[in-house]
Amino acid sequence: MSCSVYVLLLSTLCLMSMAEAAIRHYKWDVKYEYKSPDCFKKLSITINGMAPGPTITAHQGDTVVVEVTNSLVTEGLTIHWHGIRQIGTPWFDGTEAVSQCPIVSGDTFVYKFVVDRAGTYLYHAHYGMQREAGLNGMIIVSVPKGQSEPFVYDFDRSILLTDWYHKSTHEATAGLTSKPFVWIGEPQSLLIQGRGWYNCSLVNAPTSNTGVCNTTNPECSPFSMTVVPGKTYRLRVGSLTSLAALSFEIEEHNMTVVEADGHYVEPFTVKNLFIYSGETYSVLVTANQDPSRNYWATVNVVSRKPSTPTGLAIFNYYPNPPLRHPPTVPTTGPMWNDTEPRLAQSHAIKARKGYIIPPPPTSDRHIILLNTQNKIDGYTKWALNNVSLTFPTTPYLVALKEKRLTYKLPELFDQTPPPDVYDWEHYDIHNIAPNVNATSRNAIYRLDFNTTVDVVLQNANTMNPNNSETHPWHLHGHDFWVLGYGEGKFNPLNDPKKYNLVNPIMKNTVPLHPYGWTALRFRADNPGIWLFHCHIDSHFLMGMGVVFEEGIDKVGELNSSIMGCGLTKNFFRP
Amino acid sequence: MSCSVYVLLLSTLCLMSMAEAAIRHYKWDVKYEYKSPDCFKKLSITINGMAPGPTITAHQGDTVVVEVTNSLVTEGLTIHWHGIRQIGTPWFDGTEAVSQCPIVSGDTFVYKFVVDRAGTYLYHAHYGMQREAGLNGMIIVSVPKGQSEPFVYDFDRSILLTDWYHKSTHEATAGLTSKPFVWIGEPQSLLIQGRGWYNCSLVNAPTSNTGVCNTTNPECSPFSMTVVPGKTYRLRVGSLTSLAALSFEIEEHNMTVVEADGHYVEPFTVKNLFIYSGETYSVLVTANQDPSRNYWATVNVVSRKPSTPTGLAIFNYYPNPPLRHPPTVPTTGPMWNDTEPRLAQSHAIKARKGYIIPPPPTSDRHIILLNTQNKIDGYTKWALNNVSLTFPTTPYLVALKEKRLTYKLPELFDQTPPPDVYDWEHYDIHNIAPNVNATSRNAIYRLDFNTTVDVVLQNANTMNPNNSETHPWHLHGHDFWVLGYGEGKFNPLNDPKKYNLVNPIMKNTVPLHPYGWTALRFRADNPGIWLFHCHIDSHFLMGMGVVFEEGIDKVGELNSSIMGCGLTKNFFRP
């Protein structure tokens, strides 16, 4: 275990003795229900009738128990606790095919894990594209009682940002996995805390075949955040978009960024916050403008040519009516194709003084992952170093941990690891590459336990001319240090010299900007099998991810509840 | 084992030695794909790209092996071999929650069973409402080579009849299981061999939200059955509608019924054939009309007020162009609400002379099942003797067979059997009943092995005034003798005297007519757990079924491939 994890565990233990860790018990029923989050009626996946689902609130050191009943009738289900490292509980990471089998419809699965660090986290379905159907929510972990944070605010609020499609996830999935590939297109709307607005006149009069669109449905009245003039708000903002990179802003109000993915940020002030799927931020906002009116809070798409209208919420000054529209025209946000301010924000995020966890000065292993779009057997895929990720039928965690299965490993998944590097000297990241050698494989990276690993994500041109996309990469089971971002091709000889080893932020999700690179470092100190993947739902479905194994021999005994697929079908011997 | 099963097994064995039983191997990939069977583009479940799936053909005594790969991404799957009794292989009945856990997405499941009797059978998904999405097909079992049938024909043809919805099964399911209940309505079209026709002008211009409807799509050109003038055709007709009871006819052509559900029928001639979901018939048709033109083959809805247009195919006289429309207006079929001719057809179906399997003269157990529609906890349900069927998370077959699980039985499902009878003396079947005591339960009927069981299905008024529906009841694992049909309330003292014990047909699916009763008898001689249920997809989902256990101690060792849900999650010890 790394020093940092030791420190965290120790401090957790200390705090637990101080503040008495609680058990937070949740009982969730997951099913399909019609919802009209943007006025268009669509079958959504709900938790206890809600989409987004209920916010989990806990104090650092608490144990969260979520008893999930899958009532989806024919679909399996898993839920991932995004940002929670699952130290000692890798089987509760909720990653289908990696840490568990899908929960069979009708079954109840109990997730149980410790939230060991204060901060803002997320949860969402991690099976097929179910996240896109609405199964997502936030986890808010407060500092232990009596402990203070390095910034002050009067109230704590949170909003979850998502994008929303009118087609079903089954339709989206069928298109992405068909030959030729059929793209579902851009989202119909952006939702702030599960509420958006769609221009129903774009939909024809309802028939038995079209959904019903009704702009007077109270379900799609905008989210309104009421503020008291003069007060300062800690606003926790999370993004779980399927696709869209976003710019979030509150008209006439500056925001001071103080937290990112559960780590304190050296404060900096922005007019608009860029946020990528899988990220969370806390910003401080003071209600210091003319209190006689309301203000627009807006989200806009960046990095892709936006065909999705601005998402709107109301920043409501008390006692104005919460839904009274501001007198202004909402902003359409920054230029969608201007990467510079996004890169600048990425650079600006540093660990806060006094809260810096120094990274190991050197690394034991260097992995460079070239991100490419490829055709494999006529299917459109994403690949890393020419390997597009597929999954075995028996989850990696079970396949690798169960001694009685290990002799079968070669038939369970490809035992030849994917390459650590690509031919960086000769690959032209600025042009469409032939990419003739890409393959779909379920091989994994096996990391030596307690070593330090560097990963450089290298972006490239897609299969379309002059196009490179933004990919938010998320690592399960860890935070990593963000050592640097660069434009163009990463040079492994020179660029590491520019790494920030002084005050890098730790995060679990980080953007890879178009035609750029992102360098990160982590300690392979959390026994388990961990996914590292692009957090765009469709990209992940198309193979954009890798799997890390570390310390599998140190993983405790697996619970049979995570089994039921592949070679793990048998009756339970109690 | 009953005499009849012995006779069949013996004759199978004899024939196998004569004709050498073959192994018929099929490899199926099941996934979602867009199809336009009635010109409207809709996500359908396909087998190797087809909906309906490929026809399984075999000779009596052959072993059919179907290797099913579930590529539905997030959905489980099971496939039922409808009419195949699975003697000795109850674990391959394909009934989710009864004989197996759903096949997890990505897994491959191998069904292997003997087709022990010539005849016309079906297969279809048996999980949630997946059948409605198109996973269905036919099984045609020929008599052993060298053996002849008691009727002659020149050619053997088959058609599968289905109804088709434009809404997804997820939408249908969500409505049926919501409170208040939302009814998906009548089907948009009727398909003959997977082809129908929808009036696209009823759908608005395509937008991103509506499906695409295109009447020139070749996928929805009508099914055309080419016949040579003067020749006689054995036409095997199967129905796997989700909802609709059908009348099938071929313009200007009589049909002689010769087979029903795999049993020879004492021939009788009809102008139109009534056929209910789950039934199969063979009819002989001679191409004896004016050969210079084509004729309409039509299906029309009966028993429910039809809002679904006539389904059309072309009975094409060679060498006329196959798709040339007949010069006539297609029939709209018999009066939808005239039960009399349907009852008359039911009465007309008797076992063929020389092929009569006599029923046991008496029965050991008498079960009368009152069919009612009920409200339970605000949900709309169907119930038998006030019990609406739900399912345990561990399949019955595993729960009851695995000795190491049986001590847990009381927590696996309700051990108190449902009632054998209802209060027939006092219940008014012609009026809406209060039905206040209905409950949802997962209890089962346990039958003494090798006994004879009578079941009388009693229809009643639904929750709507002056309404009683047609329910096609299907028994897994058996054929039953159809002892009689009656109108009104079955009187257990007098009506059994009118039973046909001389030449009753054996079937696996039988209609229960509005306000009527249907009596059947079977031998509990097939070790296993067998579902008996209304074959209307939505009715079954709403609890309209019962479960029979018989000879569980005689069931062989279960294969771990059927496990993976409930208490059957564990790693496989080979």
Tokens 């012995």: give the residue.
Answer: B6
DSSP character for B516? E
- CA B117 to CA B395: how far, in whole Å? 28
Chain B environment of A408 (Cβ under 8 Å): 574
Same domain, A274 and A234: yes
**ipTM of model:** 0.91
| Interface membership of A201 toward B (CB under 8 Å) | no
A97–B102 C-beta distance less than 8 A: no
Phi, psi of A340 (to 5 degrees): -55, -50
Same domain, A395 and A442: yes
Give the confidence band of A1 by pLDDT, cuts at 50, 70, 90.
very low
pLDDT tops 90 at residue B268: yes
Task: For A476-490, write each residue's pLDDT tens digit.
Answer: 999 999 999 999 999
Same domain, A215 and A109: no
Give the confidence band of A32 by pLDDT, cuts at 50, 70, 90.
very high
CA distance B130 to chain A (A): 8
Look up the CATH number of the domain holding residue A286: 2.60.40.420
- Between B89 and B567, whose confidence is greater? B89
Does A572 map to a domain? no
pLDDT tops 80 at residue B338: yes
- Name the residue of chain A whose CA is nearest to B559's CA: A570
- CA A111 to CA A210: how far, in whole Å? 38
Query: Residue B133's closest CA among B207, B250, B52?
Result: B52
Position B202 scores a pLDDT of 82
Same domain, A76 and A63: yes
Does B248 map to a domain? no
B171–A106 C-beta distance less than 8 A: no
Report, in this order, helix, strand and coil percent for chain A, each rounded to 5.
15, 35, 50
Chain B environment of A102 (Cβ under 8 Å): 74, 104-105
Position A205 scores a pLDDT of 53
Beta-carbon count within 10 A of A428 CB: 10
Does A569 map to a domain? no
Over residues B11-15, the mean pLDDT reads 47
Question: For A9, left (φ over 0), alpha (ψ -120 to 50), or beta?
Answer: alpha
Over residues B92-100, the mean pLDDT reads 98
Q: Give the HSE-up count for residue A96: Cα atoms under 13 Å, Cβ half-sphere.
A: 27
Looking at the DSSP bridge assignments, the partners of residue A512 are: A471
If DSSP codes are grouped into helix, strand and coil, which group holds residue B404? helix
Does B30 map to a domain? no
Residues 164-183 on A with a CB inside 8 Å of B are 166-171, 173-174, 177-178
Same domain, A380 and A292: no
B32–A170 C-beta distance less than 8 A: yes
Residue A181, both tokens: 């590939």
Interacting residues of B433 by C-beta distance below 8 A, sequence separation 6+? B372, B427, B460, B461
Task: For A218-245, write each residue's pLDDT tens digit.
Answer: 999 999 999 999 999 999 999 999 999 9
**Cβ distance A544 to A471 under 8 Å?**
yes
Interacting residues of B345 by C-beta distance below 8 A, sequence separation 6+? B270, B273, B274
| Interface membership of A54 toward B (CB under 8 Å) | no
Same domain, A62 and A17: yes
Amino acid identity at A206: P
B107–A104 C-beta distance less than 8 A: no
Hey, CA dihedral for B422, B428, B429, B431, is it positive or negative? Answer: negative
Does B203 map to a domain? no
- CA A267 to CA A348: how far, in whole Å? 9
Phi, psi of A199 (to 5 degrees): -75, 95
Interacting residues of A567 by C-beta distance below 8 A, sequence separation 6+? A393, A394, A398, A399, A405, A408, A412, B571, B572
| Interface membership of A391 toward B (CB under 8 Å) | yes
- CA A440 to CA A447: how far, in whole Å? 21
Does A531 map to a domain? yes
pLDDT tops 90 at residue A533: yes
Beta-carbon count within 10 A of A318 CB: 12
A210–B204 C-beta distance less than 8 A: yes
Strand (E) or helix (H) holding B263? strand B263-270
Does A354 map to a domain? no
Task: For A249-283, write each residue's pLDDT tens digit.
Answer: 999 999 999 999 999 999 999 999 999 999 999 99
- CA A458 to CA A452: how far, in whole Å? 19
Question: What is the rounded average pLDDT for all residues in chain A?
Answer: 93
Same domain, A164 and A91: no
Residue A512, both tokens: 């890879």
Task: For A535-553, write each residue's pLDDT tens digit.
Answer: 999 999 999 999 999 999 9
Same domain, A99 and A72: yes
A561–B32 C-beta distance less than 8 A: no
Same domain, A332 and A421: no
| Interface membership of A185 toward B (CB under 8 Å) | yes
A562–B564 C-beta distance less than 8 A: no
Q: CA-based angle A214:A216:A221, to the nearest 5? A: 110
pLDDT tops 80 at residue B7: no
Same domain, A183 and A97: no
Residues 507-566 on A with a CB inside 8 Å of B are 560-566
- CA B436 to CA B374: how far, in whole Å? 8
Chain A environment of B202 (Cβ under 8 Å): 207
Q: Range of A141's domain?
A: 1-147
Cα–Cα separations (whole angstroms), residue B129 to B46, B134, B181, B537: 14, 10, 16, 6
**Cβ distance B190 to B275 under 8 Å?**
no
Question: For A385, left (φ over 0), alpha (ψ -120 to 50), or beta?
Answer: left
Chain B environment of A127 (Cβ under 8 Å): 74
Checking DSSP bridges between strand A108-114 and strand A119-125, what pairing results, if any?
unpaired
Beta-carbon count within 10 A of A178 CB: 16
pLDDT tops 90 at residue A434: no
Give the confidence band of A573 by pLDDT, cuts at 50, 70, 90.
low
Does B531 map to a domain? yes
pLDDT tops 60 at residue B207: no
Position A405 scores a pLDDT of 75
pLDDT tops 70 at residue B440: yes
Task: For A518-531, write each residue's pLDDT tens digit.
Answer: 999 999 999 999 99
| Interface membership of A406 toward B (CB under 8 Å) | no
Same domain, A138 and A18: yes
Domain count, chain B: 1
Same domain, A431 and A448: yes
Over residues A158-171, the mean pLDDT reads 96
Chain B environment of A560 (Cβ under 8 Å): 569-571
